[in-house]
A and B are shown apart, each in its own frame.
Chain A
Amino acid sequence: MIFEQEFEKLLKRVEKPARYTGGEVNEVQKDVGKCSLRFGFAFPDMYEIGMSYMGLQMLYDILNKREGVFCERVFAPGPDMECLMRDKGVPLFTLETKTPVSELDMLGFTLQYELSYTNIINMLSLAGIPFFSKDRKDGMPIVVGGGPCAFNPEPVADLFDLFLVGDGEEAITRLCSLYEGWKASGDSKDAFLKMAGKLEGVYVPSFYEPVYKENGEIEEMKKLSEFAGDKVKKCVLWDINSCGFPENNIVPLIETVHNRAVVEAFRGCTRGCRFCQAGMIYRPVRERPTESLLKTAEKQLKATGHEELSLLSLSTSDHSEFVSLATRLMAVCKKNNVSLSLPSMRLDSFSFKVLEEIGGYKKSGLTFAPEAGTQRLRDVINKNITDQSIFDSISQAAELGWNAIKLYFMVGLPTETYEDLDGIAETVKKVAEVFRQKRMKITVSISNFVPKAHTPFQWEAQDSYEEFVTKHNYLKEKLKIKGVAFSYHDSSMSVLEAAFARGDRRMAAVLVKAWEKGCKFDAWSEHFDYGLWKEAFAEAGADIGFYASRKRSYEEKLPWDTIDSRVSKEFLIRENEKAKLAETTGDCRQGCEKCGINT
């Protein structure tokens, strides 16, 4: 426990002090003397971001339901707080009991996005824990990583003792049991890692060592331990209904990004968009039935008092009982004076019909993601919507009284030409025409394609920074349309994201260099400094282009080949080849496309 009086003095000097106090409704407190495993759930960003992440609430719930396990939360302090903590020698602490993180048994970082990696280093530094696994002695917390970025853990492999790949619900429980037994035995950390490595979905990076070719590619992943398997298969919670869903979510005391009740409608997605990592790594689709969703929603609303309820999934209207689900959720919401939010809807006439029928749905902003400007390119990425369906739905939205629309496109997709960029402008123009009489607000948001591991585009080159800038400028001119606001994502951030998304172990050196130069909160435009990153790459002797804008051959050994997403490489190659021919692949519900998840 850090000194309370000293802590209060810090609180009086920082912005949003309640980021650091804990004490929220539904926070869990336990008698630490009776806990054999003290777990820190670390979110490598600020409180407001981390508390909006449902995975935190899920694992917090599972861990704290276990007797003898106490899971507490740890976030990255804001720069003002960090400065004071370093000045006063206050180490990184948990929110629940203000315990220094270095005193915990296990520290689990969730890896949600690549640009949070410097925050991991910074948090370890604030905690006084050595960055590299090899430098951490027995008795120091076991540092665990999980989340989507654990599907290519290599850039941060040296920082972690182990990774949990895939669904965490059962995996974390197994890991806890193992830990408790091991702790009682008093054996070494090495012994623990050897046992942990045998668990499904556990990747122990220190069991492997990459060997590089002269050209920088990976020659092989040399096994350093007899406990190293050829592949680490991701964990799958096959029966999603076997595991409960949190009902007593922590209710933040301050405004967060999302402060609402959330129920997960289903995990996975059947659409098969070729750029989408979530669509590949969360397979197969596992649905929660309407009855159980309703029950959870009611209980969560009761326990939290939230004023908004939202459904979580990758494509909400794809739930097999969507009509009855939406209708009945709306009834629950009306009864409780709560507003309903249905994000990630596929905007077709079916969805609109449902939204219209359930009544009382707030028609604020509508988000459409055609992703590409021409039918050809949409076929390449397997985003199976047609021009016609886009305009039909938009006309319908206008008819039904929606007052603002957001259009999402991506630039730099494989095979893209300027014709496709013209297509974006054409699409926006037509939408603007539909909306002109209605005086609606149209926002066009352009993001940059980032090739991700375990997707059909994992071998593809990303556009260079210069290419992105040229394309943005081209679109900026073309999109000077009355009533249309245009924004685009920072190109240097996208390039860095790509480098980490497909990076190998040598990226750790870059990461540490960048941190030493002061990089942190890289996902925040006000903190991001690409100049420092360029220096870091140069000093570490790494070439960002090698990772971001280099096309790989199918034969090349990829850094993440050890991780088995259960979607086969053959399927990814097949999909990439079809992409080149602009051939589409059907929705899995219409017939199995043999990706490997079910075999």
Chain B
Amino acid sequence: MRNKYVIELSKGGYMKYISHLDMVRLFKNAFKRAGIRLVYSQGFNPHPKLSLAQPLSLGYSSTCELLEFEIAEDLPPAEILDRMNPMMPKGIELFKCRRMAEGKSYASRAVAASYEVCIPIKAGDRCDAEGLCRDFLKQESIQAFKRQKKTEIKKETDIKGMIRELHGELLNDKIILYIKSDAGNRSNLSPELFISAFVSFSGINAAREDISVKRTGLFFSR
């Protein structure tokens, strides 16, 4: 019997600004400080069995990150939480820990994610959020420019098929968009592509740094 667990956690505050790899290192360090021994892989360069289900872009906050790991001893999930939470820097909160059944990892089963995108609007901007979303989705295709990793050339792609749900509401002087889109190995939509497509469609003149993104859900296949 292997001691596999998953922790649900939130990421916010200044911790928004650390990368996926930084998060992995942060947790490796935290387990060491908590005195909980992770199981290491065999081989020339052993590394601990620990992973985050789905990378989160730099600058995004999240209420739904999943950390999977395997430890050398059998501990009650509640104890793991009690020992790990004090090790967290301000901005990361672990709120649930449970045992994980044998089988495929969450990371390999991720299919979709939901986000809240908050866009400030100014006088004159279109503010019927729900209507805007409907019109946006009514387009035959939704073109976005994806930067190719190797060549740095921007390539136009149709992202319409990757958007699963989209709703909006007006809150004071902000539009909040609720989007559920593909996220995982098979098909993946970066919210950045959606944001640039949406902003240019709606004509809302908001600078990227004024827009905030929060991940609110991760969805998995069986």
Q: Is the CB of B59 within 8 A of A11?
A: yes
Query: Do A305 and B22 form a contact, CB below 8 Å, given A18-B17, A21-B17, A23-B13?
Result: no
Task: Flag if A23 contacts B208 (CB, 8 Å).
Answer: no
Q: Which residues of B contact A482 (CB under 8 A)?
A: none
A-chain residues with CB within 8 Å of residue B48 when the two chains form the complex: 337
Which of chain B's residues have a CB closer than 8 A to the CB of A254?
18-19, 22
With the chains together, A24 CA to B26 CA distance in Å? Answer: 10
A246: min CB distance to chain B, Å: 15
Closest to B59 in A: A12
With a cutoff of 8 Å between Cβ atoms, the chain B residues found around residue A336 in the complex are 32
Cβ–Cβ contact B17 & A306, under 8 A: no
Stretch from A296-304, A367-375, A421-429 at the B interface: A296-304
Residues of A within 8 A of B14 (CB): 18, 21-23
B contact residues around A307 at 8 Å (CB): 28-29, 32
Q: How many angstroms from the CA of A251 to the CA of B210 in the assembled complex?
A: 30
Task: Write the nearest CB–CB distance from B122 to chain A, whole angstroms.
Answer: 16
- Picked from A10, A25, A302, the residue with its CB within 8 Å of the CB of B89 is A25
Partner of A304, one of B29, B58, B59: B29
**B77 contacts A by Cβ under 8 Å:** no
The answer to whether the Cβ of B209 comes within 8 Å of any Cβ in the partner chain is yes
The contact of B29 among A9, A12, A22, A251, by CB within 8 Å, is: A251
Q: B180 to nearest A CB, angstroms?
A: 24
Interface residues of B in 52-104 (CB under 8 A from A): 58-59, 87, 89-91
Q: With a CB–CB cut-off of 8 A, which chain B residues contact A259?
A: 25
Known: A9-B209, A23-B15. A303 touches B59 (CB 8 A): no
B16: shortest Cβ distance to chain A, in Å? 8
Interface of A is mostly: loop
Q: Are A253 and B22 in contact (CB under 8 A)?
A: yes
Q: Is there contact, CB below 8 Å, between B18 and A18?
A: yes
Q: What bracket does the count of chain B residues touching chain A fall in? A: 20 to 34
How many angstroms from the CA of A12 to the CA of B19 in the assembled complex?
A: 13
Give Cα A20 to B30, complex, Å.
Answer: 22
Bound CA span A10–B210, Å? 10
Q: Mark B30-57, 1 if CB is under 8 A from A, else 0.
A: 1111010110100000101000000000
CA distance in complex: A302, B29 (Å): 9
| CB proximity of B93 to chain A, nearest CB, Å | 14
In the complex, what distance in Å separates the CA atom of A253 from the CA atom of B32?
15
State in angstroms the CA–CA spacing of A89 and B221 once bound together. 49
CA distance A253 to B21 in the complex (A): 10
**Which residues of the partner chain A approach B29 to less than 8 Å between Cβ atoms?**
25, 251, 304-307
Q: Which residue of B has the minimal Cβ distance to A336?
A: B32
Which of B17, B25, B35, B209 neighbours the largest number of chain A CB atoms within 10 Å of its CB? B17
State in angstroms the CA–CA spacing of A301 and B22 once bound together. 18
- In this assembly, does A255 line the interface, its C-beta being within 8 Å of a C-beta of chain B? yes
A78 at the interface (CB under 8 A from B): no
Task: Give chain B nearest CB distance to A13 CB in angstroms.
Answer: 5
For the complex, what is the distance from the CA of A24 to the CA of B89, rounded to whole Å? 6
Q: Which residues of B have CB within 8 Å of A337?
A: 32, 37-38, 40, 46, 48
What mask results when residues 250 to 267 of chain A are scored 1 for a CB within 8 Å of chain B, else 0? 010111000100000000
CA distance A570 to B22 in the complex (A): 53
| B37 neighbours in A (Cβ, 8 Å) | 337
- Alpha-carbon separation in the docked complex, A22 to B91 (Å): 12
Bound Cα distance from A306 to B46, whole angstroms? 15
Min CB distance A319 to B, Å, is: 26
- How many Å from the CB of A339 to the closest CB on chain B? 10
Q: Cβ of A100 < 8 Å from any Cβ of B? A: no
**Cβ–Cβ contact B209 & A253, under 8 A:** no
Residues of B within 8 A of A24 (CB): 89
Q: Chain A residues near B46 (CB, 8 Å)?
A: 337
The chain B residue sitting closest to A10, CB to CB, is: B209
Q: How far is the CA of A306 from the CA of B31 in the complex (A)?
A: 10
Closest Cβ–Cβ distance, residue B70 to chain A (whole Å) = 14
Q: Return the contact of A17 from the options B17, B21, B28, B208 (Cβ within 8 A).
A: B17
Min Cβ gap B190→A in Å is 16
Nearest B residue to A338 via CB reads B32
Contacts of A10 in B (CB 8 A): 209
Interface pair B33/A303, CB less than 8 Å apart = yes
Which B-chain residue is minimally distant from A11 (CB atoms)? Answer: B17
When distances are taken between beta carbons in the complex, the residues of chain B under 8 Å from A12 are: 59, 208-209
A23 and chain B: residue at smallest CB distance:
B14
Q: With A18-B17, A254-B22 given, is the CB distance from A305 to B209 under 8 Å?
A: no
Chain A residues near B26: list those with CB within 8 A: 25, 253
User: When chains A and B are docked, how far (Å) is the Cα of A251 from the Cα of B89?
Assistant: 10
- B-chain residues with CB within 8 Å of residue A301 when the two chains form the complex: 32
**Could you tell me if A253 and B18 are in contact, using CB atoms closer than 8 angstroms?**
yes
Q: Which residue of A lies closest to B13 (CB)?
A: A23
Query: Which residues of B88-144 have CB atoms within 8 Å of chain A's CB atoms?
Result: 89-91
From 521 to 576 in chain A, residues with beta carbon under 8 angstroms from any chain B beta carbon are none
Centre residue among A9, A17, A259 by max chain B CB count within 10 A: A17
* A337 and B46 alpha carbons, distance in the complex (Å): 10
Smallest CB separation, B171 vs chain A (Å): 17
Considering only residues 1-32 of chain A, those with a C-beta below 8 Å from chain B are 9-13, 17-18, 21-25
Contacts of A18 in B (CB 8 A): 14, 17-18, 22
Complex CA gap A305/B32 in Å reads: 5
How many Å from the CB of B36 to the closest CB on chain A?
11
Interface residue from A17, A251, A255, A305 paired with B59 (Cβ < 8 Å):
A17
In the assembly, what is the distance between CA of A337 and CA of B40, in Å? 9
Min CB distance A66 to B, Å, is 24
Which residue of A23, A255, A304 contacts B22 across the interface (Cβ within 8 Å)?
Answer: A255
Enumerate A281-330 residues with CB–CB distance to B below 8 Å. 301-307
Contact between chains at B40 and A23 (CB < 8 Å): no
CB of A557 to closest CB in B, whole Å: 52
Bound complex: CA A303 to CA B34 (Å): 9
A13 touches B17 (CB 8 A): no
A490 CB to closest chain B CB, in angstroms? 28
Q: Are B89 and A23 in contact (CB under 8 A)?
A: yes
The docked-state distance in angstroms from the alpha carbon of A128 to that of B199 is 38
Instruction: Kindly report which residue of chain B lies nearest to residue A27, judged by CB atoms.
Output: B89
Which residues of A are interface residues toward B (Cβ below 8 A)? Answer: 9-13, 17-18, 21-25, 251, 253-255, 259, 301-307, 336-337
Q: List 21 A-B contacts (CB under 8 A).
A: A9-B209, A18-B14, A18-B22, A21-B14, A22-B14, A23-B91, A24-B89, A25-B30, A253-B15, A253-B22, A254-B18, A302-B33, A302-B35, A303-B33, A305-B28, A305-B30, A305-B33, A305-B87, A336-B32, A337-B37, A337-B46
User: In the complex, given contacts A255-B22, A337-B37, what are 10 additional A-B residue pairs having Cβ atoms less than 8 angstroms apart?
Assistant: A13-B208, A17-B58, A18-B18, A21-B14, A21-B17, A23-B15, A23-B89, A301-B32, A304-B33, A336-B32
The 3 closest A-B pairs by CB, nearest first: A305-B29, A305-B32, A21-B14
